[in-house]
Amino acid sequence: MNTIMPEDINAVTDEELTALESDLVAEFDSLVDAGSNDVATLTQIAEAVEAVRAESTARIEAVAQAEQAVAALADRVRGAEEIDEAPEAVVAETEDADEASDDNHNPEAVEAEATEQENELVTASASPAPKAPSARAVARRSTTPEVAEAQPEVVITAAADIPGFTSGSNIDTVGLARAMHAKARTLSNGSGFVPVASINLPLQHKVGSDMATNLEVIERATAPEALTAAGWCAPSQNIYDLFGVDAGDGLLDLPTVQVSRGGLNIPGFIGIGEASDALWSWTEADTEDPEATKPCLQIPCPTFEDYRLQAAGLCLTNGNLTDRAFPELTARFIALAINAHLHRLSGLMIAEISGSATGVTMSAVASSAAGSILHALDVQVADYRSQYRMSVNAVLEAVFPLWSREAIRADLAMRTGVDLVNISDDRIDEYFRTRKVRAQFVHDYQPLYTTGPAKTAFPTTVDFLLYPAGGYIKGDGGTIDLGVVRDSVLNATNDYTAAWTEQLWLVGQTGPAAREVTVNYAVDGVTGCCVEAPAV
């Protein structure tokens, strides 16, 4: 530790104590910014800073306690001087002064009064002087007291972590200047807004128990146009709570890996068909053929695909005055923007998978929506497993638009002769789990509502993505979340950055290409009709 601690910290002046704390903090920040791992030195500096701050706090508390003790002693001393009645000499002096004011026009009276006062002074010098009344007693005896109107007091409260000041303590304007200076010495270039103190301004228009005064204050402080002229005789009450229905769910779910560089270099998928040249058969004829050989395949090098990170983010600015007067609006809009960001990112990732998928269109079958969709899923799952010789227990992922589950439920409810009007989400999901398919129903893939009037029927086609679990992954490059930002440019317009975030992401393909299957259907509850059994 380069900063030298004094042997006796009690002997250090307040200014030296403030400078010492600033030096210690600057040395600590310098070591941390340089990437120092010297825990012993950093601990020594931290303990020194705590000792300096403790001494500063102790001094402030000692001064406050001393001031309180002096005030208590002053009340004891001044309270003993208070008497109920003023000395007769004071009363006589007051009366004499009044009489003197009446006789100023008579020179003889003035001369006689002067002689009389001279004699009284000689007599008074031989006797104890009368005791003067206390200010409290004089005020109590006054018949027409003038009570000064109490002036509102400005209260300045120190913020946290200000060198030499206790958090929450009251300070004056001189102390405020010292606090600003002390804190400024600890900041680095480019530092954002740092609170030093809060100023509680007094109310200029305050009502009390005097109704006449209150009416005058209200008339002065209230604009006439703010009141209604008739009817209820009162303005409407504002409701500041904002209603919201949006949510951050129905998002694509992918296995996620951390990306510490600019992207991921992923080897291309090698399927079972790539190994066909390594397979051979041998017969007796091959044994008799001197030129017959057993083929051997050298393992090929995979082709790598470079997937680079992309950035997606949001930025909101807000007015300082708006945030202070209408905080509900700030909170609601920040939540709204975050949900919009999550849904947009989910849609971007789905588009990446869709762009790499192989398109398949299923022909219509003699069934309605539920049967057509499940039939298409069965065919594609069976064909996909067959193509890559997948395990019979391997799970496949299927991504459907969110509304397709409602289309299946509505179709089942229209079936004749069966009670399928109360089908839960879990029961519909079970149709897919039985097929060893994990179905995801998401918002941001073929959304039902886009623009224009409200829909009156489900679409007649639906697409879904199909790929093996883990066949696509999300690369997460981290989130740069700066939260609230205040800078000189926005401060000039009394604005600030209410929310700012940047998320780095990519979608990489690790398995075989997905299939994007298009299914034609009708939501009408119709099922395949029976076939008459042949005659025996």
Cα–Cα distance for residue pair 350/377, rounded to 1 Å: 19
Give me the mean pLDDT over the 93-113 stretch.
50
Asked if pLDDT for residue 33 goes beyond 90, the answer is no
| pLDDT of res. 172 | 80
pLDDT in tens, 117-143: 545 444 444 444 444 444 444 444 444
Asked if pLDDT for residue 189 goes beyond 80, the answer is no
Q: What is the mean pLDDT of the chain?
A: 81
| pLDDT of res. 97 | 47
Nearest C-alpha neighbor of 505 from the set 268, 251, 256: 256
DSSP collapsed to 3 states, 92-107 = HHHHHHHHHHHCCCCH
Give me the mean pLDDT over the 452-459 stretch.
93
Nearest C-alpha neighbor of 74 from the set 14, 30, 136: 136
- Residue the block writes with tokens 């009276």: 109
Give me the mean pLDDT over the 248-263 stretch.
93
Residue type, 220: R
Which residue ranges form the domains of the chain, and what is each CATH number?
9-79+152-187+194-200 (no CATH), 284-520 (3.90.1690)
Q: Which residues contact 277 (CB under 8 A, 6 or more apart)?
A: 295, 297
| pLDDT of res. 157 | 84
Tokens of 298: 């050298």
| pLDDT of res. 366 | 81
Neighbouring C-beta atoms of residue 283, cutoff 10 Å? 9
Q: Which residues contact 189 (CB under 8 A, 6 or more apart)?
A: none
| pLDDT of res. 444 | 96
Tokens of 111: 């001369």
C-alpha dihedral, 451 to 452 to 457 to 462, nearest 10°: -30
Tokens of 429: 């999901």
What contacts 24+ positions apart, CB below 8 Å, involve 264-268? 264/306, 264/307, 264/475, 264/506, 264/508, 265/304, 265/305, 265/306, 265/307, 266/304, 266/305, 266/307, 266/508, 266/509, 266/510, 267/302, 267/303, 267/304, 267/305, 268/302, 268/303, 268/304, 268/305
Residue 139 has phi, psi (to 5 degrees) of -65, -35
Give me the mean pLDDT over the 36-59 stretch.
85
| pLDDT of res. 202 | 62
| pLDDT of res. 201 | 58
Burial of 493 (0-12, 13-18, 19+ CB in 10 A): exposed
This prediction has a pTM of 0.60
DSSP collapsed to 3 states, 473-500 = EEEEEEEEECCCECCHHHHCCCEEEEEE
Burial of 77 (0-12, 13-18, 19+ CB in 10 A): exposed
Yes or no: say if 57 and 21 are a contact pair by the CB < 8 Å rule. Answer: no
Q: What is the CA radius of gyration of the chain?
A: 44
Please, what sign has the CA dihedral across residues 259, 265, 267, 268? Answer: positive
DSSP for 65-128 reads HHHHHHHHHHHHHHHHH--SS--HHHHHHHHHHHHHHHSTT-HHHHHHHHHHHHHHHHHHTTSP
Angle between helices 39-81 and 14-33 (to 10 degrees): 150
Secondary structure class of 137 (helix, strand, coil): helix
Asked if pLDDT for residue 319 goes beyond 50, the answer is yes
Give the bridge partners for 305, in sequence order: 266
Neighbouring C-beta atoms of residue 158, cutoff 10 Å? 22
Cα–Cα distance for residue pair 515/532, rounded to 1 Å: 37
Split at pLDDT 50, 70, 90, the class of 411 is very high
Task: Report strand pairing: 515-520 vs 461-468.
Answer: antiparallel
Cα–Cα distance for residue pair 276/364, rounded to 1 Å: 36
Burial of 9 (0-12, 13-18, 19+ CB in 10 A): middle
Could you give the C-alpha distances from 401 to 250, 269, 338, 354, 464, in angstroms and in order? 9, 27, 21, 13, 7
Neighbouring C-beta atoms of residue 104, cutoff 10 Å? 9
Most confident stretch, 57-66, 167-176, 393-402, 447-456: 393-402
Cα–Cα distance for residue pair 87/208, rounded to 1 Å: 39
Roughly how many angstroms between the first and final C-alpha of the chain, as a whole number?
105
Neighbouring C-beta atoms of residue 357, cutoff 10 Å? 19
